[in-house]
Amino acid sequence: MARLEIRPLNAGEEPLFCSLADRGLVGPAALGGRYSDGVIRGTYRAANTWVALRDGVVVARAAWWGRPDQGTPAVLDWFDFTDADAAAELLRTAPGPAEYSLALPSGWRDQPEVAEAARARIAAAEAVGMAVLVERYGYRWTPACGLPDRPGRLEFRPEPDDTVILDIFKRVHQGSLDAHAQRVIAESGVDAAAAEDLQILLRMPSPRAWWRLATAGGEVVGLTVPCRNYTDPVIGYVAVLPAHRGRGYAYDLLVEATHLLVAEGADRVIANTDVSNLPMAATFAKAGYPLVDYRIDLVG
């Protein structure tokens, strides 16, 4: 077998990355994404994009996504190969973070070729010590879905003080059903998980003034964070304080965020939640958010 060469891309080598013969059944390509678009946005960079070559032919490729202003990328999300051994060796060699978010079309388990492509990538990640953390539903609301009416049960106001928001994050993490939050809490504690959530949202390229605190009778009920990432308007956060759970307030928060984004000109809204978070999944369904894709997150 020809010697395997594993290396990052050099500037201008984007066509080399795109030369791999892959059908785009899974990953960003399956959802209409293009590597070149990420390069233009600055979310994919040559230094964070690696290829494995045999006789000059790409047999595996991996691209780690990161914010344009981010030195270290956040997550591996583009990973394809025709040689499973080379794919595993690429992951062992590349210095990217050990988190892989595998994007899949909705209903992927009922599509044999897509399911096999997913299993192959999961196996390659597991071969280097990664394990499945969580499976997540992806939603995409558009005006054709209908804009749900505001229930009118809550009052909403901006809250510019980050210390107030941080305190809310600490409180909502009590009994949180979010697998990523649970992992950080288990490893570093509630304060660390709350600080991480706050920093993620503050780095979104949308106005901090969009965030809304929700109250009922003057008492804080929760928080809703409509925002934009580098491609879409998104529901960044929906959180109900423990003392107010069980009353369906997550629906009110989701609807308010949707209205705010539409008022800012959004013609679509992207959102996601853990498959295991049954109450939030039911909330998206009630608000008319169609399920459009799926993710499996693996961590090292």
For 229-253, write each residue's pLDDT tens digit.
Answer: 999 999 999 999 999 999 999 999 9
Measured CA to CA, the distance from residue 272 to residue 138 in angstroms comes to 4
Nearest to 98 by CA among 119, 136, 129: 129
Burial class (CB in 10 A: 0-12, 13-18, 19+), 58: buried
pLDDT at 97: 86
DSSP secondary structure, 180-247, as one string: HHHHHHHHH-HHHHHHHHHHHHHTSSS-GGG-EEEEETTEEEEEEEEEE-SSSEEEEEEEE-GGGTTS
Q: How confident is the model at residue 72 (pLDDT cuts 50, 70, 90)?
A: confident
User: Which CATH entry fits the domain spanning 144-291: 3.90.76.10, 3.40.50.2300, 3.40.630.30, 3.90.1150.10?
Assistant: 3.40.630.30
Give pTM, 2 decimals.
0.93
Answer whether 28's CB lies under 8 Å from 78's CB. Answer: yes
pLDDT in tens, 168-203: 999 999 888 899 999 999 999 999 999 999 999 999
The per-residue pLDDT for 219 is 96
User: Over 80: is that where the pLDDT of 214 sits?
Assistant: yes
Question: Residue 190 and residue 184: Cα distance in Å, rounded?
Answer: 8
Share of the chain above pLDDT 70, in %: 100
Percent of the chain with pLDDT over 90: 93
CATH architecture of 4-129: 3-Layer(aba) Sandwich (3.40)
209 Cβ neighbours under 8 A, 6+ residues apart: 158, 160
| pLDDT for residue 1 is more than 80 | no
Which of 177, 181, 213 shows the shortest CA–CA distance to 195? 181
Residue with tokens 């914010």: 67
pLDDT of residue 21: 86
| Location of each CATH 3.40.630.30 domain in the chain | 144-291
**pLDDT tens digits for range 105-164:** 999 999 999 999 999 999 999 999 999 999 999 999 999 999 999 999 999 999 999 999
At 237, give phi and psi (nearest 5°): -165, 135
How much is the pLDDT for 213? 98
Split at pLDDT 50, 70, 90, the class of 225 is: very high
Strands (E), the chain: 4-8, 49-54, 57-65, 75-81, 99-105, 131-141, 155-157, 212-216, 219-228, 233-240, 269-274, 291-299
Q: What integer best gives the mean pLDDT of the chain?
A: 95
pLDDT beyond 80 at 2: no
